[in-house]
Amino acid sequence: MWNFTKMHGCGNDYVYFDCTKEALPNASEAAVFMSDRNTGIGGDGIILIKSSACADFYMEMYNLDGSQGRMCGNGIRCVGKFVYDKGLTDKTDITVETLSGVKKLHLAVKDGLVYEVTVDMGHPSVQPADLPLVSDEPAIARPIVLDGQKFEFTAVSMGNPHAVIPVAATADFAVERFGRVLEHAPIFPEGVNTEFVEVLGRNEVNMRVWERGSGETKACGTGACATAYACRLLGLTDDEVTVHLLGGDLRIVYDSENDTVFMTGPAVTVFEGTINWPAV
């Protein structure tokens, strides 16, 4: 029997496990089994919290299809809440190791519980090798045809690959139709997360996201960061942007002096329980 905590950041939900003392076996298979919203716990994947040799904690994440993810902005905020609320740390400034490097978190606490987390998401990059992207030069407002329709995308790495596409409106946009095509496009050999963005003003955008390995989700923290950076790069927004997602809002700040993106948003515990794994 394993104790778990179901958590979400702006509706981007994962199942969390304390693996600081014991490793969850067959994590990839567990992600598929537990993420099922009909026969499992339900979620966009699972996140294992482990010890780290170079940070306070290590975050290991798996998407609902069993593939391993490098980083998740919404997920890492919930990691911060988990470790503080569970008493694994008493610090409000912590570091978390991920496959995209070590991230710094500041935990906002009220009545002994974390309600909001700010994450130093690091340096954005448009260099093709960092995504990776099959190209000799960065893709900034590059034309592309998806399922017969023309778009322009800007490719940004936030430790994982993103393609940001401005659209006239996001409300009725066919996210699955076009997101699925770009996810498997040969120019992105490791797949890509695609953000469809409606610019509302210099400090405000709407965003919907198709995440590789998970499909459309209610939010994507790294995607919101990539969106804010891409829109600034295109001259559409300023350094501070509120990103409206299906699951809620994220505040993104680009520190141009240090070439760093900061993300602030909520972290919520939904429920806790126990589950048999391996399943019998």
For residue 91, give the CATH number of its domain.
3.10.310.10
The pLDDT assigned to 280 comes to 62
The residues facing 12 across adjacent strands are 9
Quote the domain boundaries for residue 153.
128-258
Residues 187 and 254 in one domain: yes
User: How far is the C-alpha of 79 from the C-alpha of 200, rounded, in Å?
Assistant: 31
The answer to whether 25 and 100 have CB atoms below 8 angstroms apart is no
222 exposure class (CB count in 10 Å sphere: 0-12, 13-18, 19+): buried
Mean pLDDT estimate for the chain: 97
Lookup: tokens for 110: 């009220």
Q: Quick check: is 72 catalytic?
A: yes
Q: Which of 10, 19, 54, 72 is an active site residue?
A: 72
Section 182-202 average pLDDT: 97
Indicate the pTM of the whole model.
Answer: 0.94
Q: Could you tell me if 138 and 218 lie in one domain? A: yes
pLDDT at 122 over 90: yes
pLDDT per residue over 25-50, tens digit each?
999 999 999 999 999 999 999 999 99
Tens of pLDDT, residue by residue over 221-248, are 999 999 999 999 999 999 999 999 999 9
Q: Where are the alpha helices (H) located in 86-208, listed in sequence order? A: 175-183
Q: Which of 10, 78, 220, 225 is catalytic?
A: 220
Residues 112 and 162 in one domain: no
The tally of domains found in the chain comes to: 2
